[in-house]
Structure 1
């Protein structure tokens, strides 16, 4: 019974302490034949990331466009601003979020991470480790959202949307996270990469 309780608490602590992985979701018009689209042009991006220069950077915008261009080329689309079949736009958004995390464990007195306390011994009462060191704290982090929209250039109707949300706290990894995020979104596009 003790081992089961220990396992449940350890799993719960791990689940609460871990930040969720980036989540991708897509939606599209099921009546559209996506193989008809051969060319695209850019719409003006919508960037809402506040004044923080870490996130409000033209380099991030150009990185998103470059990665999207590569992914579109893999699917047989070429850029043609004069006669596009698709209008491609994207939106970025950041906001501060709060996460509950498990406090680091106290020094281990015994293999199970107990703290000292009073408990009955076979030979009387005494100091014996038995109380769990469970504590939680709030942590602030920045969550970023990238939304990619494909609009039919003739009808002006949205035909496909992909989005990814995730934590973007480490400025040194933003470029890599954006590239991976765009690639994850485009994996869900109805036409697969060639």
Structure 2
């Protein structure tokens, strides 16, 4: 019983961690100097070669709008490429994952032979996980200065409004550490 409780708690902790965005950035960059952004030419390839129907021009538009909104919240405004301090690029990927659970379902003992045992049940489920990556590139040096990413389980049969809400929340989570909090 204790072992099963520990396994269940471990799974809860792991699933909670998987929803946390991942960030990396160049510590030598003074992010306070950035006031404007434009789109990187590479963002035009958002859905190129996508194998999943959810990565589409519709999704690209949602991501662009969410980034514009969040960057404005962080004090950066969208301008033409020549006037931008940084360029923003984003891309998405979809991976298929397998979730396997094995449970001990009962304890049994037989009287006609020696021994006891557990009956086990194993279930396998295939599901899709999407990852959205947002890059911030210094326009002057053309160097990546900040990257954020978040993955999450994709839901099918969602309304356009629910998809927009999901994208907005994901972009907000990713950009919650842009510009990065300076640790002293």
Give the alignment's TM-score, normalised by structure 1.
0.74
1:176 matched to 2:171: no
1:40-55 mapped onto 2 (5 Å cutoff): 40-43=37-40, 44-45=42-43, 46-47=45-46, 50-53=50-53, 55=54
CA distance in 2 between counterparts of 1:145 and 1:29 reads 22
* 1:156 CA drift (Å): 0.6
Structure with a larger share of its residues in helix: 2
When residues 17 and 135 of structure 1 are mapped into structure 2, their CA distance, relative to the original with a 3 A threshold, is farther
For structure 1, which segment, 11-20 or 142-151, has the greater mean C-alpha deviation from structure 2 after superposition?
11-20
Displaced runs of 4 or more, over 4 A:
13-19, 130-133
Q: What 5-or-longer segments of structure 1 have no aligned partner?
A: 1-5, 107-113, 120-124
- Mapped contact 2:19–2:150 kept (Cα < 8 A): yes
* 1:12 CA drift (Å): 1.7
Larger radius of gyration: 1
What is the root-mean-square deviation in Å for CA atoms of aligned residues? 2.9
Match of 1:77 in 2: 76
CA distance in 1 between counterparts of 2:107 and 2:156 reads 34
Total equivalences in the alignment: 170
Deviations 1:83-102 (CA, angstroms, capped at 9, x unpaired):
11110110111111112124
Give the alignment's TM-score, normalised by structure 2.
0.78
1:1-194 mapped onto 2 (5 Å cutoff): 6-13=1-8, 15=10, 20=15, 21-43=18-40, 44-45=42-43, 46-47=45-46, 50-53=50-53, 55-81=54-80, 82-102=82-102, 114-118=106-110, 132-172=118-158, 173-190=162-179
